[in-house]
Structure 1
Amino acid sequence: MAKIRKMEIHLLENKTFKADGGALFSVVPKFMWERKYPTITDNLCPVANRSLLIKTDERIYLFDCGIGSKLDEKAGKFHGISGENTLESSLAQHNLAPEDVTDVILTHLHFDHCGGVTKFNDQKEPIPTYPNARYWVSPEQWANYLNPNVREADSYFPENMMPIYERGMLHFVTPETSFFPELSFFVANGHTTGLLIPIVKYQGKAIAFTGDLIPNTGNIPLKWLASYDIEPLKSLEEKARFLEKAVEENYVLTFQHDYYTECATLQNVDGRIKLNKKLKFRELFE
């Protein structure tokens, strides 16, 4: 695995959506979580849906693709999808088109993370949005996608991933998979089986794209889990390991779903890991 001579890393904005605050924070009382993550209306919280872009010498990596454009008007209204940003427009800000992306790495296959993998053509058929890319997911998550439990079934849409699989564009991330030396993964199974959390070393920093392991700053406290997690006790154990590692190795947490905050650092206060400082992604490299 050759050392990369040049690398760029960017955080891409996409359309936002809304989620119930109780779902985002489970058993935590509203008067507590709303001080950390305010609602906008009817107990709904705004939710970002960012992607991570990494440009290396030879390849262009995109981590997650958001909800995409295939939902009909009724579904879009139900999920409160809004905003002017799309992944295509965000890529264009870096002089890139979907055809330039060589690898799409998916943290998992819930629709808000992989819906943008495909788009409808003029005949309303789902086709790959990134036609020249290899698409990557953990084999455990793919098995779960094909045979989901009753809670996750509503988050797995066949039109998102089956066109990729049928075209032979799907590949699996295993412990033996190496993309480039600066990239590693923390694998978790509490939110869903085979969740991949990318950790990228760049300009002396370790950037963790926290995905649904820690969706927003309000979820940093150990017991503040989202009710979306399939196995919450397993999530607690995994989150504890991740937070300890994050403090030890000075991770910068980069949030996929935090509408208010892009990045944060952590601190250990009397044995409890807490939020230290909130940051804009661009501030990391100034």
Structure 2
Amino acid sequence: MKLYPIESGNFKLDGGAMFGVVPKTIWNRTNPADANNLIDIAARCLLIEDGNRLILIDTGMGNKQNEKFFGYYSLWGDHSIDKSLAKYGFHRDDITDVFMTHLHFDHCGGSVQWNKERTGYEVAFKNANFWTNDNHWEWATKPNAREKASFLKENIIPMQESGQLKFINRPKGDYLDQCELGFGIFFADGHTEKQMIPHINYNGKTIVFMADLLPTAGHIPLPYVMGYDTRPLLTLDEKSKFMNAAADNGYYLFLEHDAHNEIITVQHTEKGVRLKDVYKCSDILI
């Protein structure tokens, strides 16, 4: 097995929304805001090469929305999925599976693209199966008013229409030892219904793709919960369970949204679980 970081593009989000009730004077120390109160955000995906399978975890925003839409997110940098794949000798047509932690636009928008005529949409990975779970699919396709702006039909429905949509078989509890793609999954409901957090065994290490359970290293303290989360008190419980396990077991946490810290480890301290070490992807993965 080999793992590759895939940078799909950087953007910015409101720091207050990203840290919920935490005062700016505190979160600004770890995630400094610009003059518009925006903080740097990455969309760092992960590619798993395992035998004949090439599994891409999340796909970023994509590029099919209009200028007004992208204007809300202050895109910066020149990253793209195609450039990142090419860096490691791959093409999007090589991808066999796309695993989506959840279906918010910044995690799955790159799964769907315009067709050549720009008259409709098609899947962006023509040879891949697209993986979610049945509970989250139901949640995303019949969205509540709070999340409606994050679940965009053009990002989601074309996967079903293509016939390439697959559902992970969920366990009765919140952890699946091994899914159909060969890795474990922690199911978390605080951010959105049945977000999937992959746990990958790699060279004697456990690499955890954190998605929105831990957006950045600045979110490590338990009360630092995003304003975007639909059930913040549940996020507190899920973070407590996960972060203690991460410290106990020495997990390597792959941060999808932290533009400056790529992989971290955590440790127990008298103040609770806190940051231990920071790594580049090249230190751990390739």
- How do residues 161-172 of structure 1 correspond to structure 2 at under 5 angstroms? 161-172=156-167
2:179–2:185 CA contact under 8 A, matched in 1 = no
Query: In structure 2, what is the Cα distance between the partners aligned to 1:115 and 1:180?
Result: 21
1:67–1:116 CA contact under 8 A, matched in 2 = yes
Matched, 1:138 2:133: yes
Q: Which residue of 1 aligns with 2:228?
A: 228
Query: How far did residue 285 of structure 1 move?
Result: 5.1
Q: Which residue of 2 aligns with 1:18?
A: 12
Q: Which amino acid aligns with 1:233?
A: L
Q: SS at 2:102's partner residue? A: coil
Q: SS at 2:22's partner residue? A: coil
Residue 63 of structure 1: which of 39, 50, 57 is its match? 57
Q: Any runs of at least 4 consecutive aligned residues in structure 1 with deviations exceeding 6 A, and if so which?
A: none
Deviations 1:162-221 (A, max 9, x none): 11101211111123673354x101110010001000111101111111000000001111
Q: Which residue of 2 aligns with 1:97?
A: 91
Query: In structure 2, what is the Cα distance between the partners aligned to 1:179 and 1:90?
Result: 25
Query: In structure 2, what is the Cα distance between the partners aligned to 1:91 and 1:244?
Result: 34
Q: Which residue of 2 aligns with 1:211?
A: 211
Query: In structure 2, what is the Cα distance between the partners aligned to 1:167 and 1:77?
Result: 30
Deviations 1:62-109 (A, max 9, x none): 000000011111111121122211101101111111110000000000
CA 1:180–1:155: 2 relative to 1, 3 Å: closer
Query: In structure 1, what is the Cα distance between the partners aligned to 2:64 and 2:76?
Result: 14
Query: How far did residue 222 of structure 1 move?
Result: 0.6
Q: SS at 1:153's partner residue? A: coil
- How do residues 148-163 of structure 1 correspond to structure 2 at under 5 angstroms? 148-163=143-158
Query: In structure 2, what is the Cα distance between the partners aligned to 1:152 and 1:264?
Result: 29
Query: In structure 2, what is the Cα distance between the partners aligned to 1:152 and 1:217?
Result: 24
Moved more, 166-175 or 193-202: 166-175
Matched, 1:179 2:173: no
Query: In structure 2, what is the Cα distance between the partners aligned to 1:267 and 1:246?
Result: 8
Q: Which amino acid aligns with 2:147?
A: E
Residue 83 of structure 1: which of 53, 59, 77 is its match? 77
Query: In structure 2, what is the Cα distance between the partners aligned to 1:105 and 1:25?
Result: 27
1:139–1:194 CA contact under 8 A, matched in 2 = no
Over the matched positions of the two proteins, sequence identity in percent amounts to 37
Query: How far did residue 18 of structure 1 move?
Result: 0.7
Deviations 1:119-150 (A, max 9, x none): 11232121111000000002111010111111
Q: How many residues align?
A: 279
Q: SS at 1:179's partner residue? A: coil
1:103–1:134 CA contact under 8 A, matched in 2 = yes
Query: In structure 1, what is the Cα distance between the partners aligned to 2:168 and 2:35?
Result: 40
Query: 5+ unaligned residues in a row in structure 2: which ranges?
Result: 172-177
Deviations 1:6-44 (A, max 9, x none): x10011112111100000101111111000111133110
Q: Which amino acid aligns with 2:90?
A: L
| TM-score, with length taken from structure 1 | 0.94
Query: In structure 2, what is the Cα distance between the partners aligned to 1:180 and 1:120?
Result: 28
Q: Which residue of 2 aligns with 1:52?
A: 46
Q: Which amino acid aligns with 2:104?
A: H
Query: In structure 1, what is the Cα distance between the partners aligned to 2:203 and 2:170?
Result: 25
Query: In structure 1, what is the Cα distance between the partners aligned to 2:57 and 2:246?
Result: 20
Query: In structure 2, what is the Cα distance between the partners aligned to 1:236 and 1:178?
Result: 25
Query: In structure 2, what is the Cα distance between the partners aligned to 1:89 and 1:149?
Result: 35
Q: SS at 2:241's partner residue? A: helix
Matched, 1:282 2:282: yes
Query: In structure 1, what is the Cα distance between the partners aligned to 2:272 and 2:115?
Result: 51
Residue 115 of structure 2: which of 113, 116, 121 is its match? 121
